[in-house]
Amino acid sequence: NGRWLGECPPVLRDLTYAEQLLIARNRHSFCVAQVSQGQRYMTANVIIFGQPVIKMYKTLPPPRADIEECLAILFVGSAKPTNEDVSRTPFLVRHTVVARALQWLILNHDDYSDVTLSLDNLREYPEDEPPVGVVFRKKDTVSGENLAVYQDHVEHAVDEGPCSFVVHGLFGGELVDMSYDEKVAHALRYFDSGGAALSYGHHKRPE
């Protein structure tokens, strides 16, 4: 049907979720991520909220402060995450990987031809922790009373290696216009209810 773009180049494969945010030319969403961990499993879920205004970048990666405005990370479990736990999540940034991806895009993608790679911005991001603060929520995610709520999480979880990762899209005028805190609160209610149903749609204003 003429839509096949060919194989993904090696430098753009296996990017973490955080690295994908850093190489994105435009910013049109707000993300709330929750990493759930039990004694034998770990899984990550992300809710994507549409934003009313799309932000375009001519310099990438963006300043770290910009990522802090569009990503929130929650960690749920019986104990605070260790460095090893964090290393299994898709929210770490590797400087070399990001730099190579952007260099390839600038040379080979028309939409990136006028983008400038900022090594100063890249150095703002740590490589051993997520680019934003992690909020810990103490909860026994596998107790009898809430096992049903997290059943879907457990089914997609892994007990070793990189944790599984599922993206949920929530769109609608009442969601797009929420404040940062309101979106995080809405995401918490969604996660706590099990988040079985996904809601797709379009904002009343074109994006």
Q: Tell me: the pLDDT tens digits for 86-125? A: 888 889 999 999 999 999 999 999 999 999 999 999 999 9
Q: Phi/psi class of residue 172: alpha, beta or left (left: φ > 0; alpha: ψ in -120 to 50)?
A: left
Statement: residue 34 has pLDDT above 60: yes
Q: Phi/psi class of residue 195: alpha, beta or left (left: φ > 0; alpha: ψ in -120 to 50)?
A: left
Residue 157 is given by DSSP the state: -
- Between 17 and 183, whose confidence is greater? 17
Statement: residue 66 has pLDDT above 80: yes
Radius of gyration of the chain (CA): 18
Statement: residue 198 has pLDDT above 50: no
- Between 182 and 74, whose confidence is greater? 74
pLDDT number for residue 183: 76
pLDDT number for residue 46: 81
* Helix boundaries (H) for the chain: 17-23, 64-68, 83-87, 95-108, 119-123, 151-155, 173-176, 180-192
